[in-house]
Amino acid sequence: MLLQFFTTISSIGVNYGMTADNLPAPSVVANFLKTQTIFDSVKLFDANPDVLRAFANTGISVSVTIGNGDIPGLTDTVTARRWVEQHISPFHPQTKIKYVLVGTEVLFSKNDDWINNLVPAMRSLHYALVKAGFPEIKVTTAHALNIFRRETIPSLMRFMIGYDQSFFAPILQFHQRTKSPFMVNPYPYFSPDLSKRLNYALFKPNSGVYDKYTRKTYTNMFDALMDSTYTAMKALGYGNVEIAIGETGWPTQGDASSPFASMENAISYNGHVVKEIVSGKGTPLLPNRTFETYMFALFNENQKPGPLVEKYWGMINPDFTPIYDVGVLRNGQLTPTPATPAPSSKNFCVPKLDVSNAQLQSNLDYACGQGGIDCTPIQPGGACYEPNTLRSHAAFAMNSYYRTKGQIYFSCDFAGTGQMTTLEPSYGDCRYL
């Protein structure tokens, strides 16, 4: 009943990226999302035909994305109609395609050819979809939130000078006319002064930001970003256009250049976002407003280029065990409440996220082979046997070894594959001592 209540009042989806070499087949992913999670929609970063086929008859909405480099060519209506014929017509409506995203964070690219042709391409694709008999499929594009003039209180926020009338006004006019959402990617993680406002970004206790013009107090950056977007839209005369969230999330791991990428921070941020979206709470300026939202991301992507942190935004392991659960699993927490971290005075030893199965097996064998280590809870019938996965069993064994060896830091090294955490990994009757 709780699950039905939450999923009917709001729509929450997830970004399904595939830049990895260890992911399960799309058909298996589709079945997992349908049967084991509250996600009712997925967003792809392409229009992969195998994925589109996999989601047929699942009831899960799918959004597809056109690459930035294809934008100029799609201003031609013949090309746009051909694209729809090749990428939409063979799959819809068996696969419920909801949005076609034309490019990603185009303004952020600073490529004038893409920027200048974005709105014409959106118009052309909308025309092509209508002509093909798919007026229900809407066209949009996702914007990074570096699109404002300066960082200030939400009531004064405006789109960048030089782009407000030439770029955003035509886009918003298109959305108003076609009844499609203006899509943004709010990422407090990328705030330029995150070290000074970490609690504000993570929904943790903080002094807040008072907007003297609206007399609203903001206790988290997410609400401030959404109200800033609304205010900038309203200033151009388009406050009635719907706002959707194309991406938002927090990474669980990084290197020395990413000190705030951690499991604990990801749980705090994503847990509060899920709770806020699913509850339909809205923001100070938009109370009870529901934002269609796509969390970033479903899986870690170990082949992503760039800094290490780019690989670690996922919430689910390839074996479908949760990296962490913030209320998106049907057989986990049904209410979207963030997990409560254990007191910082108590540490646990768990595997790092990128540890191979061979290393996990080696750690499991080594820990359980030591005298005084009790591994019976992860044997069949034991309290910690389920989930019956190598990662789960290895984590229990590694923590038991660490605890037995006096909780000394190097007892969690495991040849560089172990890491300390203050988050309580116990679940159900399975207790990590």
Q: Which of 85, 105, 301, 424 is catalytic?
A: 105
- Residue 105 annotated among the catalytic residues of the structure: yes
State CA 27 to chain mean position distance.
20
Peptide bond into 318 cis (omega under 30): no
Q: Which of 85, 247, 301, 424 is catalytic?
A: 247
CA nearest neighbour of 337 among 392, 279, 386:
279
Parallel, antiparallel or unpaired: strands 209-211 and 138-144: unpaired
247 is catalytic: yes
CA-nearest of 347, 346, 361 to 397 is 361
Any idea which residues carry the catalytic annotation? 105, 247
